[in-house]
Structure 1
Amino acid sequence: MANFSQIKAIAFDLDGTLIDSVPDLAAATRAALQELNLPLCTQDQVRSWVGNGAEMLMRRALSFALNTAVSDERLAACMPRFMYFYQQNLQQHSRLYDDVERVLQQLYAAGYQLAIVTNKPYEFTVPLLEAFKLNGYFSIVLGGDSLLKMKPDPMPLTHILQQWQLEPEQLLMVGDSKNDILAAKAAGIASIGLTYGYNYGEDIGLSSPTVVCEQFNEISGLLDVSAESMEQ
């Protein structure tokens, strides 16, 4: 069993970790392709493409539809329309995963500092957190465009270490993708890999997180937060 006794702060991924946002991302992706009279992708395909930010999602969708590599110019021309359609579909079909709000309430009440570290553009991250009434738990929110680099680069996590004046052993990364685990390893911090999210069809265990969890509520036991506090 991993020892998380020194943890003071927790950084959470968003898509595939706290929120299942693929249905809305798929709707926006399909709308952008339809406007270009291109073949439409499926929701399952979008689920396998999510994780490296909005531009990479659309690059993968366009490459699929055109059956060829996509130029930077063509991608740049398409992105405003994808962003528009996603803004229209931001919270139509997305949902919280089981126990997310309850466990966040518990961790917040226990005094942990909480952050969001996602590759989703910041302009979509904050409204999505607000829509699910999660924004009050997080004192740092980093989108994929908030800093010069995003996961799997460690920059967002080292930024949090600096902002909160933490040692690496005091910060924990929780995510569903190898990008989360690689970023944590590069930053020298512990990680929890969740099996239920989006990881390009790969077993999250292959990335060797500190701990693998099948359910979000397992985090409570790992951090030794009492069951009583969950019921309050």
Structure 2
Amino acid sequence: MKKVIVYDCDGVLFDSSLAVKAYYDHVFEKFELSMPDWSDPKTFELAMMSTNSEIIGHFCKDEKKFNAIMEFATKLNFRMFLDKMIPAAGVFEALEKLKSEGHKMAVCTNRGVSIDPLLKHFKMYDYFDRLVCSFDVVRPKPHPEGLNKIAEHFSVHKRNMLFLGDSEADYKAAKGANMPFLSFGSSLHESIRIDNHMEVFKHLT
């Protein structure tokens, strides 16, 4: 039985594509950077799968401006974009059932400080026993450091854990941590795919 269920945030707990686009459009316009081309799949993938500093560093090579943007972005109130976040299908029902059955739950995300207010806004925060964001690790996903931290926190063998992710970075992190993995809403290599959170209960044994 899987005792600890670990979730990625963007693309798993939420469809955050509209919010992420609006966030970076706002930041880039403020600093007069060339606006991201959201019709380019590589740009969209970069924005969804990378850390804030990786994304901004990709578009801004000037160190002084980069530092100014990072300071602004860190202080930017993400709440102004919360109305564009969409909880994934079946997520509340699944979290409630997992909690009632005694499972521990955690989040491993490349998001930064916005993860706490996001989960609190949607009344998800209290379901989770441990949150690991990009500020909590030296090496974010695809490195397994975040997943390893969660395993250490719960003092549980990784075979008794399950990580739900939607990206190549999530897949590689799970592989690196030697942790069972479900692919949510996408087909990643040999991984089992689910498209609704209630399907997780088929994979807990």
Q: TM-score, normalised by structure 2?
A: 0.88
Cα distance in 1 for partners of 2:98, 2:66 equals 40
Cα distance in 2 for partners of 1:47, 1:131 equals 25
Contact 1:151 1:179 in 2 (8 A): yes
In the alignment, which residue of structure 2 is the partner of 1:149? Answer: 139
Residues 28-107 of structure 1: pairs in structure 2 closer than 5 A: 28-43=23-38, 47-49=44-46, 50-60=48-58, 62=59, 70-85=61-76, 87-107=78-98
Cα distance in 2 for partners of 1:109, 1:73 equals 50
In the alignment, which residue of structure 2 is the partner of 1:133? Answer: 123
In the alignment, which residue of structure 2 is the partner of 1:3? Answer: none
Name the aligned partner's letter for residue 44 of structure 2. Answer: R
Residues 155-194 of structure 1: pairs in structure 2 closer than 5 A: 155-194=145-184
Contact 2:79 2:118 in 1 (8 A): no
SS in 1 for 2:197: coil
Deviation >6 Å, runs of 4+: none
In the alignment, which residue of structure 2 is the partner of 1:9? Answer: 4
Unaligned runs of 5+ in 1: 1-5, 64-69, 197-203, 225-232
In the alignment, which residue of structure 1 is the partner of 2:188? Answer: 205
Cα distance in 2 for partners of 1:86, 1:41 equals 21
Closer, same or farther in 2 for the Cα pair 1:37/1:155, shift >3 Å? closer
Contact 1:125 1:143 in 2 (8 A): yes
Larger radius of gyration: 1
Give the fraction of aligned pairs with identical amino acids, expressed as a percent.
Answer: 21
Q: CA deviation at 1:86?
A: 5.2
SS in 1 for 2:162: strand
Cα distance in 1 for partners of 2:149, 2:74 equals 27
Q: CA deviation at 1:88?
A: 4.8
SS in 2 for 1:130: helix
Contact 2:6 2:162 in 1 (8 A): yes
Unaligned runs of 5+ in 2: none
Closer, same or farther in 2 for the Cα pair 1:222/1:23, shift >3 Å? same
Contact 2:12 2:88 in 1 (8 A): yes
Q: CA deviation at 1:87?
A: 2.5
- Number of residue equivalences: 202
In the alignment, which residue of structure 1 is the partner of 2:198? Answer: 217
Q: CA deviation at 1:43?
A: 4.8
Q: CA deviation at 1:90?
A: 3.7
Q: CA deviation at 1:75?
A: 2.2
Closer, same or farther in 2 for the Cα pair 1:157/1:76, shift >3 Å? same
Measured on the aligned residues, the alpha-carbon RMSD in Å equals 2.0
